[in-house]
Structure 1
């Protein structure tokens, strides 16, 4: 008789995760898991460490204590960088390059099967291919950053205030992209301020307290 298959390891598992700055605790210890095909909304007031948590998970800051397991393996900062896509408060692309040039660079870096032009169309920036990123509005720059996400092969998206600077259509765009990514087997951690309708995906919450 064949033994039943064990449950797959979660995409992300954090054990006793802490971060301190100048010996002042910012968050933790945190214990949580994130399975493929699901999302977590990180809640908490100003100063609770929401952005810091996402930056730690993106490999941009070292954790003070704890372990991070990614796809069933204990990982360091370098492996987190390789497995995650981070969308922060800043757009993260080159201001002097055109919208298309920024996406061409991302597509080449990740060997994306999606054409950069198609990614621009998907986020409502068709016709802005040759516009320098510095000449785009705040909302258009956010859309360009969302297009870069579409070209990333990372299974884990870390989205810090993804609805900021977007109108109603832009908010709906974020929810569609999250839905597509989660439904394709990816996972998302996101922070939000304000009363936004959550994307229609399996969603859990993680509350941080200042």
Structure 2
């Protein structure tokens, strides 16, 4: 599936009565919400409230203390979602284009326009260590485009991005949702895309 083409199966996810604890302390409990195909949902809350833990639980990386996460019209969740965490996960000596090729082989896809869409075509041959923090974050965002997957779980995706970078991110989210994908993002501040819903943790 190319960039921007619609997902044939309309994904959805439901969180039901979720409870998560860290270090013996409850971060939140009895949390329930649902995100449908074509929707952008923001997770908001103070630092330490459990935004990242919620994303990791949805991704299957963290076992909740109680409750469950279910997916609709998704055969294998791990193959239907992209998770972008705080760390960019880049190899210092590898070029931007080499990262795209590597991710393509790892994820089973290749989007030739990925670097162009995140505004990095002119630095495609530079090693990651030569990129600015904002460019490094843009390169990490390119991974979302290499092998199209309907569910994006993003943890502070705008970290280190300048105004232009935030505009790129907003466009990626809007295009993904208009194609029938869904986005669940933990945010510290608005991303420039009006969310269809807001999930508040630690309130």
With structure 2 as the length reference, what TM-score do the two structures score? 0.87
Flag the structure with larger Rg: 1
Decide which of 126, 134, 141 is 1:139's aligned counterpart.
134
Match of 1:199? 193
Closer, same or farther in 2 for the Cα pair 1:9/1:143, shift >3 Å? closer
- Rounded to whole Å, the distance in 2 between the matches of 1:206 and 1:175 is 19
* Cα displacement (A) at 1:72: 5.1
Q: Tell whether 2:102 aligns with 1:101.
A: no
- Rounded to whole Å, the distance in 2 between the matches of 1:28 and 1:81 is 24
* Cα displacement (A) at 1:22: 3.0
- Rounded to whole Å, the distance in 2 between the matches of 1:159 and 1:166 is 14
Match of 1:66? 67
- Structure 1 stretches (4+) deviating beyond 4 angstroms? none
Q: Is the 8 A contact 2:37 2:182 kept in 1?
A: yes
Give the root-mean-square deviation of aligned CA atoms.
2.1
For structure 1, the 5+ residue unaligned runs are 1-7
Match of 2:18? 17
- Rounded to whole Å, the distance in 2 between the matches of 1:61 and 1:197 is 26
Q: Is the 8 A contact 1:60 1:81 kept in 2?
A: no
- Please state whether the residue corresponding to 2:37 is helix, strand or coil: coil
Match of 1:159? 154
Q: Tell whether 2:172 aligns with 1:171.
A: no
- Rounded to whole Å, the distance in 2 between the matches of 1:23 and 1:104 is 42
- Please state whether the residue corresponding to 2:142 is helix, strand or coil: helix
For structure 2, the 5+ residue unaligned runs are 1-8
With structure 1 as the length reference, what TM-score do the two structures score? 0.84
Q: Tell whether 2:88 aligns with 1:91.
A: yes
- Rounded to whole Å, the distance in 2 between the matches of 1:94 and 1:181 is 27
Aligned length: 195
- Rounded to whole Å, the distance in 2 between the matches of 1:177 and 1:156 is 13
